[in-house]
């Protein structure tokens, strides 16, 4: 890490839910292998961790535009059909909330939640360490939104996962090639060495 991570840094853990585990309808093969790395980041500073959850609608008709078409295709994950417990954080993470807050969203980006933006401002947070799922969907969308808001971003390369190895690798490459000024990509071990929450 070029610059140490200090008291104004927080860990944004995106959508590490049972929905995307081997027990859910959208399983990510890499979720369980990366989970211990995510846990290490959380355990460094549970009170400086922020969780998000991707919530599905009650029915496809509750969503606008192409989201309606999306949930017509994936009707099995609407809440009228889904076991609601699958929306929970992975148990290894959920035990840290609280003190970590949880922000729910119905779309990809964590920044769709106005409450998250208020929380970050109140905490004078200017740096986000990002982990979670999926690298090429909600993590990507959240990082791009965070860039737009001017945050320093550190993506934990070994604490993000996707359903597609090719897309995951492409996003890591994209950050190295196109966003190298705005996104730092580092291993969890490097981040933990640099992060002193105070």
Kindly report, residue by residue over 11-47, the tens digit of the pLDDT: 999 999 999 999 999 999 999 999 999 999 999 999 9
120 in a structural domain: yes
Question: Residue 74's domain is classified under what CATH number?
Answer: 3.40.50.850
Could you tell me if 127 and 8 are in contact, meaning their C-beta atoms sit under 8 angstroms apart? yes
Question: Would 2 be classed as within a structural domain?
Answer: no
Give residue 6's pLDDT band: very low, low, confident or very high (50, 70, 90): confident
1 located within any domain? no
Of 121, 119, 123, 142, residue with least CA distance to 132: 142
Number of separate domains in the chain: 1
Q: How many CB atoms lie within 10 A of CB 20?
A: 25
Q: Is residue 178 part of a domain?
A: yes
Is residue 161 within 8 Å of 30, Cβ to Cβ? yes
59 has a pLDDT exceeding 80: yes
> Which residues is 129 bridged to in the sheet?
11, 154
- Residue 100 falls inside a structural domain: yes
Structural Rg of the chain based on CA atoms: 16
Q: What are phi and psi of 13, to 5 degrees?
A: -105, 110
Concatenating the DSSP letter of every residue in 39-104 gives HHHHHH-GGGEEEEEEPPPSSGGGS-HHHHHHHHHTGGGSTTTS-GGGGSBPHHHHTTTTTS-EEE
**Per-residue confidence (pLDDT) for residue 3, from 0 to 100:** 79
pLDDT confidence bin for 165, thresholds 50/70/90? very high
Q: How far apart are the first and last CA of the chain?
A: 18
| Residue 3 is assigned to a structural domain of this protein | no
3-state secondary structure of 157: strand
Name the 3-class secondary structure at 53: strand
- Residue 4 belongs to a domain: no
Q: Is residue 80 part of a domain?
A: yes
Q: Which domain holds residue 186?
A: 9-194
pLDDT score, position 47: 96
For residue 132, is it left (φ>0), alpha (ψ between -120 and 50) or beta? left
């Amino acid at each position: 890490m070029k610059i140490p991570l200090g008291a104004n840094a927080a860990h944004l853990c995106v959508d590490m839910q049972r929905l995307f585990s081997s027990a859910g309808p959208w399983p990510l093969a890499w979720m369980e292998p990366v989970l211990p790395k995510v846990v290490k980041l959380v355990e460094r500073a549970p009170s400086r961790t922020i969780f998000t959850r991707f919530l599905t609608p009650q029915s496809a008709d509750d969503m606008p535009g192409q989201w309606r078409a999306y949930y017509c295709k994936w009707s099995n994950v609407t809440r009228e059909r889904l076991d609601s417990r699958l929306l929970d954080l992975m148990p290894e993470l959920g035990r840290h909330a609280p003190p970590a807050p949880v922000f729910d969203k119905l779309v990809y980006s964590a920044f769709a939640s106005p409450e998250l933006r208020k929380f970050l401002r109140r905490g004078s947070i200017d740096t986000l360490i990002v982990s979670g799922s999926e690298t090429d969907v909600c993590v990507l969308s959240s990082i791009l939104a965070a860039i737009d808001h001017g945050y320093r971003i550190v993506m934990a390369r070994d604490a993000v996962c996707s359903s597609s190895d090719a897309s995951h690798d492409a996003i890591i490459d994209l950050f190295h090639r196109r966003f190298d000024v705005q996104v730092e990509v580092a291993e969890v071990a490097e981040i933990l060495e640099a992060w002193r929450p105070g």
